Structure 1
Amino acid sequence: MATWTWSDAWVFSSIKGTGPDDGYRLSEILMTADTINHAVLTEAEFTRAVPRLLAVGLIGADAEADRYWLTETGRALYRQRMKRRGLFGWMDAIPPALGRLGEPQDSAWSLPAGAFDQAVREYLKQAKQTLKRLGGPTVQDPPLS
């Protein structure tokens, strides 16, 4: 029996926007994920969560256009569960909300070849530039898969 994972909630909580025109690029999702959990998502975590979230209608995704967004249902769930919670409130609020949706539906879903590694490089480049501008510590590049 499949169950919702903590990383499913993490991916969901890292996606913003209302449609393809203002949806997040994968590099922006990685940035948000790092901000709210102080870690970088793995490709396996992302590619497992996306089809599950798509199947229950919480997100929309266009991997070829590199755009991911919350549906109206996803925005409503997020607003309802995150009311009066801070930046890290998703950890307590979102996993149980996903669990109430029933068993997740797994399906094959993948990114275009090299898209995840490219998004990681874009995110790290931006993070380095921001930290340099702010005079903060340097960021080490993680090994790419």
Structure 2
Amino acid sequence: MGAEGWHWTDAWIFVSLVIASGAGRHRRAPASRRPEGVRLTDVLSTADHLNQAIPDRHEVQTAVRRLAGAGLVSVTDGWFRVTPAGEQLWRNRPHVGMSTMVDTVQTALTRRHAPGHGDWVLDEHEHTAAVHEYVKRSVPTPRRSPEDDGPAHGRR
């Protein structure tokens, strides 16, 4: 498919969205999934877990446009969802380990779907806020010893 074919980043964002939303748990009860979808922070968190990198705004925007245009994902009011077609692609992909999952999904995308050209826009401020939220919640809070609860810290 050349330059217009699916990119690794498209598959990375798709896999991140599937995992973050629980859509990959198709054998579980639908009530155990997140039907409302997931927020950008959850997608970024999962993407970082998969690739040890937080996707930049352009990577997310481009991938979501292509995936949404192909009918595999949707975004409404900031909620990212995997569509039934996206769930079907996920369920029918070859099953492999985590280290090659994104590559396998990229191959499945190439074989079964053409990239679309959606018009979704990710605002720079929204992306920055999601990155900050993810970083803030992923930095562990220092543990405090019982001695820290004494009078010097406002407790009596």
Q: Give the TM-score of the pair, scaled to structure 2.
A: 0.72
Q: Secondary structure at the match of 2:80?
A: strand
Q: Give the TM-score of the pair, scaled to structure 1.
A: 0.77
Q: How does 1:37-76 map to 2 (within 5 A)?
A: 37-62=51-76, 65-76=77-88
RMSD after superposition: 2.3
Distance 1:7 1:23, change over 3 A: same
Partner of 1:88: 99
Q: Identify the structure with the greater helix proportion.
A: 2
Q: Secondary structure at the match of 2:38?
A: coil
Unaligned 5+ segments in structure 1 are: 134-145
Max Rg structure: 2
Distance 1:75 1:103, change over 3 A: closer
* Aligned equivalent of 1:13, options 6, 9, 15: 15
Partner of 2:150: none
Which of 102-111 and 46-55 deviates more?
A: 102-111
Q: How does 1:87-126 map to 2 (within 5 A)?
A: 87-112=98-123, 114-126=125-137
Per-residue CA deviation, residues 43-75 of structure 1 (Å, 9 max, x unaligned), is 00000011111111111112xx22101111111
- The sequence identity of aligned pairs, in percent, is 33
Q: Secondary structure at the match of 1:61?
A: strand
| Amino acid across the alignment from 1:86 | G
Query: Is structure 2 residue 14 aligned with structure 1 residue 2?
Result: no
> Alpha-carbon deviation of 1:113?
5.0
What is the rounded CA distance, in whole Å, between the counterparts of 2:60 and 2:111 in structure 1? 21
* Count, aligned residues: 129
Query: Is structure 2 residue 38 aligned with structure 1 residue 24?
Result: yes
- The answer (yes or no) to whether the contact 1:20–1:67 under 8 Å persists in 2 is no
- The answer (yes or no) to whether the contact 1:37–1:88 under 8 Å persists in 2 is no
